[in-house]
Amino acid sequence: MKSHEVLKLDGRMRRHLLVVLTLSYLSTTALAVTNFIKAVPCSILNMILGTLNAVVPALVIIFFLYGGVKYIFSADDPKGRGQAKSILINALIGGIIYMVWTAINTMLSTVSGGSGPTGMWGVC
């Protein structure tokens, strides 16, 4: 057999080679599309939750201060004091919920090796 005859393929071998190359290309493309489909929602979710991580603590502090000031200036009005207590309690509950969520999210992200503000527990 001559060296240039080694590379000659009959029709059946060409079809098999074409099928193998096509499947290889499609699997690589499918993986890229899958990564893109996964990356877009994760990046949007990370952006939203990153913004919330900056806004929620500020809102908790603002509402707590507002409730405290309202309580101080409503010394004579029982209805105003009741509203101020309600604002203070709701701000406190919101702060506790945020801190618990942050602690659980941090623990799950650390364990699963996630990244970003959400970590998405190994998904993103």
Residue pLDDT, tens place only, 108-123: 777 776 655 555 555 5
* pLDDT tens digits, 53-100: 889 999 999 999 999 999 999 989 999 999 999 999 999 999 999 999
Chain centre distance of CA 42? 5
Quick one: pLDDT band at residue 12, thresholds 50, 70, 90?
A: confident
User: Which amino acid, 59?
Assistant: L
- Residues sharing a CB contact under 8 Å with residue 32, sequence separation 6 or more, in sequence order: none
Q: How confident is the model at residue 7 (pLDDT cuts 50, 70, 90)?
A: low
**What is the pTM (predicted TM-score) of this model?**
0.61
| Pairwise CA distance, residues 8 & 20, whole Å | 17
Tokens encoding 114: 């996630």
Give the pLDDT mean for 39-59: 84
